[in-house]
Amino acid sequence: MNSLQINIAIDDMTSEQIYDDIEAFLIVNNIDSQQRFKLILCILESVNNVVQHCPENAETLTVMLQNNQENIVIDILDNTEFVELSTPKKCPQIDKPNGRGLWIMEQWMDQVQKQATVLGTHLRLCLQKA
């Protein structure tokens, strides 16, 4: 299995559903446990960001994973208006309500791209395989 697509209605979403499907895909594709942890946490952080910061606008979310020869590519698309966010230069303190997820993604992924689309927002994460 080289790709996985999960289409999610925000109102019906559970983190367990997302976790189980992604974990199974990564295991089948022989991704080691440390990289699985990083990938899943970054995906859950990005999904949580949509739900937390755009609850009135978010209706659907699509998570796509591609297992390429050299890397794993994750595309997360949602129907919310694109908002340019700057990534913190250092991990935000525990008393800060936001920013840790973006910081973690930038630290753990080899590539993080955020852009507007005609339908909303597109986040792409890439991680080189171990």
| Separation CA 44–CA 24 (nearest Å) | 15
| Separation CA 55–CA 52 (nearest Å) | 6
Domains in the chain: boundaries: 3-128
* 44-68 pLDDT tens trace: 888 888 877 776 777 888 999 999 9
- The pTM is what? 0.86
Q: Is the pLDDT of residue 111 over 90?
A: yes
Please provide the CATH number assigned to the domain covering 3-128.
3.30.565.10
